[in-house]
Amino acid sequence: MSAVFNRVKEIIVEQLGVEPEEVKLEASFVDDLGADSLDIVELIMALEEEFDLQIPDEDAEKIRKVGEVIKYIEERK
């Protein structure tokens, strides 16, 4: 697993209060990890801080699964 994945996983576990083993690449934030809209906003804020990124709304809306976040961040690192 990539370093990015591990850092993202830690943030997701902390933000959403889920178990680490639930954070799989194909897991959907809303359907599998129980995130509501404010959770997603907070998650984006935390990722922006952790990876020193600006994630515009258009991009944030497209990110639905854990794997998509990893891909998004890796493409911009």
Query: Which amino acid type is present at position 69?
Result: V
In the beta sheet, which residues pair with residue 65?
Answer: 28
Comparing CA positions, the residue from 50, 14, 19 lying closest to residue 70 is 50
Q: Which one is catalytic: 31, 32, 36, 57? A: 36
- Is 1 an interacting residue with respect to another protein (CB under 8 A)? no
The answer to whether 36 is a known catalytic residue is yes
In the range 6-65, which residues lie near another protein by CB under 8 A? 36, 38, 42, 45
Residue pair 71/5 in contact by the 8 Å Cβ criterion: no
Q: Any idea which residues carry the catalytic annotation?
A: 36
Residues within the interface to another protein (CB under 8 A):
36, 38, 42, 45
